[in-house]
Chain A
Amino acid sequence: MKFIQDAFDSVEHHFEKGGKWEKFYPIYEGHRTILFAPKSVTNQSGVQVRDAVDLKRMMFTVIIAMLPCLVFGMWNVGHQHFLATGVDATLVDKFLVGAIQVVPIIVVSYAVGLGIEFTICVIRQHPINEGYLVTGMLIPLVMPASIPLWQVALATAFAVIIAKEAFGGTGMNVLNIALTARAFLYFAYPSDISGEVWTFLGGAEPVAAYSGATPLAIGASTIDNVNAASVTSLFDQSWSAGIYDFWNMFIGIMPGSIGETSTLMCLIGAAILILTGVGSWKIIAGVFGGAYAMGLIFNLIGANQFMLMPPEYHWVIGGLAFGAVFMATDPVSAAQTESGKWIYGILIGVITVLIRVFNPAYPEGIMLAVLFMNVFAPLVDYYVVEANKKRRLQRATV
């Protein structure tokens, strides 16, 4: 591998101070450090040795945790396509149809996002941060497969510039960047990311019985209807037999955003994040627990059929699992204190179910709940930190 190092060395002087491309040093440095872990050493004072971990490895671990969702999602996009159009297809066919839809979205997300990152790093002379490696994968996974690519590009640009770089880059953002991208589309181009967009039809005619109503939409439809049948019985009557059966939804064989339909794949991702210590189990458990508890409370109130839906159904619909595992755990926008993480996670779960049941105009409960709690996370942390200060003061008077 010496020849690659030599190649880098031979151009390095162009990027150093006084070289013709000195402004582009962050880009040179960013590429070199992706290929080679840098040769920097510790100072003569302070720690002399460092832990083998770094931010690149942490971020890459998150990407690995997302792979089950991505692979399943690609298959599911194809599966839903053939199901809705009434065509029998093989596993490979389904996967290919999905990949043809999904890969361009991923490419656009990375190209636009990294392009902006590189430009801003050059302008600000900051080193390139690895935060976007994760964001660039999260954005496609929360998009419907039918999304126009220019919208992906626009949303990515909006999120990276407004939600991240305007605040100072990786580590400084208040809102989750991927969810900001999704929320942007949700409010700017609602017709392409809500309603009956969740199955990729690709111009083909759906079968006669086909309906694009999502479980959340079915649930919401019962709210103002006093004579509605129970939500679970409506699920049972959906156009394709068993598609909204609890376990089918748990596995994730239903329409939805590319990567978020499968609770099972999200839980595999959660296991990876928790076992590697990269994601906070407190937040993940908090979201699931909070949603379940709120579902139970609504069961007790029972004012409409959506309230009476068994609480475990909230876990498997509307991307709650994906939000809990990959969005809520973003360490920068989440609460950063250990007790704060519990409060933050539980409130996300509670608010998700609240939004779903009380505000059927915005069925995207988890997205709005996470963004909402992103804004409140510093407040949660503030009180946890104040409690620490108070303990110290009380100790003094004892």
Chain B
Amino acid sequence: MSKTIKLKKGFDINLAGAPSNDVVKDVQPDTFALKPTDFPGMTRPKLLAKEGDNVKAGSPVFHDKVFEDVLYTAPVSGEIVEVKRGAKRKILEIKILADKAVEYESFTKHSVSDIKGLSKEDTIAQMCKGGVWPNIIQRPYGIVANSEESPKAIFISGFDTNPLAPSIEVLFSGQEQAFQAGIDILKKLTSGLVHLGINGKEEIPSLYSAVKGVQINKISGPHPAGNVGVQIHHIDPVNKGDLVWTVTPYGVIQIGKLFLEGKYDASKTIAVAGSEVSSPKYYSTYIGANAGKFLEGNLKQDHVRVVSGNVLSGNGIGKDGYLGYYHNALTVIPEGDYEELLGWILPSTSKLSFHKAFGLLSFLTPKKEFVLDTNTRGEPRAFVQSGEFEKVMPMDVMPTYLVKAILAEDYDDMEALGIYELVEEDIALCEFIDVSKHELQTILRSGLDLIRNG
């Protein structure tokens, strides 16, 4: 039974610097990196290759000592030139100097009809070995799934409502076959349904128009309607003891290609966007790409923040940083480290706000594209204003009380108030609009860690 869900709560952040639909194919960074820190559940990453080793795309680079079967594999072929470590020798980045032409590890190839006959065990084994398993995220906790468990359902959000979200049509054109193969694989992993959430307000992208074997749910509304967590909440919510898995459309395609083509294909199209990019457009590259090449001569000014992912839940990586594993966009915005005379009270039409307090006039121009910088626009305060988070939270969750339960380390209340349903991105919009400037995503993760590590 496909569902239609219309959401009203939320807020679309309309940023300047949307990419044009061109895809640049001939700009390729020299280095690529895997960052164990991109995987929130990673407990003890252990290197499987060392500095100086040559790897192929799909060769194991590291794994988590707790789940040794799941391999994290090289996105491109080349030489491991540096393992960058931080405090206590924590692995931060494993950098690979890419070959001119990518060589691939070969895995077993299957025809479309073979895939249907594959056993669940063989499927999981190939996914883990072939480096595509980290695409499968479990909820609760938003961490890489445990391959020995079986979820009650698998959810794919087929659209993205984040600020400057890349177009599905551009990212995945011509990948229908791999997507379908990925779906066929995923169906083996759950006894329940595979859900695909599509935007009820837009034309169905070609990637999904002929897809079979999934329940298609139409979701419409402002951001965060495209967040998979919101879709799960309304379709088949995560209660205590429940387990669901989530995969991005990119992950589904990568899984499909591993089986159809017998290779770990880490190529991806990414958007390079944001107000400070001279000519925002798409680039065809690989997981973990170095940002430098895309930004060289392509920035309007130098005092910028380069964000891997979107401005709500992405990470600042610096101009020479590496694209996050799950991200498909680089967003470049101005740094905001300036003081502004009476900036807290002067009326402004150029500052974006969800609120309408005195002088905040952006609500008059909902279609306008805004340039946002990294200024916090005020200082952290205690919770004062109530009822605001609820306006951007299209779930039956009370963010203020949940956050207070986390701060109080009250395990029972965290559970009862729905912490299992949330990951950082679900609470990112609350963090954005927060009058008191709390770091809600960090707080949520600390709560998830508390519960997970008991």
Q: A residues bordering B, Cβ < 8 Å?
A: 1, 4-5, 33-58, 60-61, 64, 127, 129, 131, 168-172, 275-278, 280, 331-332, 334, 336-338, 341, 385, 388-389, 391-393, 395-396
Contacts and interface: CB of A to CB of B under 8 A. Distances in A.
Nearest to A127: B379
B435 A392 contact: no
B378 interface: yes
Interface in B335-353: 335-345, 348, 351-353
B374 A41 contact: yes
A344 to B, nearest CB: 11
A55 B381 contact: yes
B76 interface: no
Interface centre among B240, B340, B442 (most CB of A within 10 A): B340
A5 B314 CA distance: 33
A48 B375 contact: no
Contacts of B436: 55, 171
Given A57-B357, A277-B357, A51 B434 contact: yes
B428 interface: yes
Contacts of A53: 353-355, 357, 360, 377-378, 433, 435
Contacts of B358: 57, 60-61, 64, 276
B316 A171 contact: no
A170 B382 contact: yes
Contacts of A56: 344-345, 378
B239 interface: yes
A54 B417 contact: no
A47 B441 contact: yes
Interface string B359-400: 110100000000011111111011111110010000011101
10 contacts: A39-B337, A39-B338, A45-B315, A50-B377, A51-B433, A56-B345, A277-B356, A341-B387, A385-B398, A396-B240
B333 A52 contact: no
Nearest to B436: A55
A52 B349 CA distance: 11
Nearest to A29: B379
Contact of B386 (A4, A57, A331): A331
A8 to B, nearest CB: 9
Nearest to B318: A44
Interface residues of B, number: 77
Contact of B398 (A37, A46, A388, A395): A388
Interface centre among A60, A172, A277, A391 (most CB of B within 10 A): A277
A338 B390 CA distance: 9
Interface in B416-438: 416-418, 424, 428, 431-437
A283 to B, nearest CB: 10
Nearest to A55: B381
A54 B312 contact: no
A137 B345 CA distance: 18
B384 A48 contact: no
A129 B351 CA distance: 23
A243 to B, nearest CB: 35
Nearest to B443: A46
A86 B41 CA distance: 80
Given A49-B311, A55-B378, A336-B400, 6 more contacts: A38-B379, A48-B307, A53-B353, A54-B378, A127-B379, A170-B384
Contacts of A280: 386-387
Interface centre among A1, A4, A60, A385 (most CB of B within 10 A): A385
Interface centre among B359, B424, B433, B435 (most CB of A within 10 A): B435
B18 to A, nearest CB: 16
Nearest to A280: B387
A275 B355 CA distance: 10
B373 A49 contact: yes
Given A1-B341, A45-B316, A51-B352, A57 B359 contact: yes
A198 B357 CA distance: 34
Nearest to B361: A52
Contacts of A57: 344-345, 357-360, 378
Nearest 6 Cβ contacts at the A-B interface: A54-B378, A171-B382, A37-B343, A52-B351, A396-B239, A44-B316
A37 B428 contact: no
A42 to B, nearest CB: 5
Contacts of B435: 51, 53-55, 58
Contacts of A60: 344-345, 357-358
Nearest to B387: A338
Contacts of B359: 57
Contacts of B317: 44
B441 to A, nearest CB: 5
B313 interface: yes
Contacts of A54: 344, 377-379, 381, 435, 437
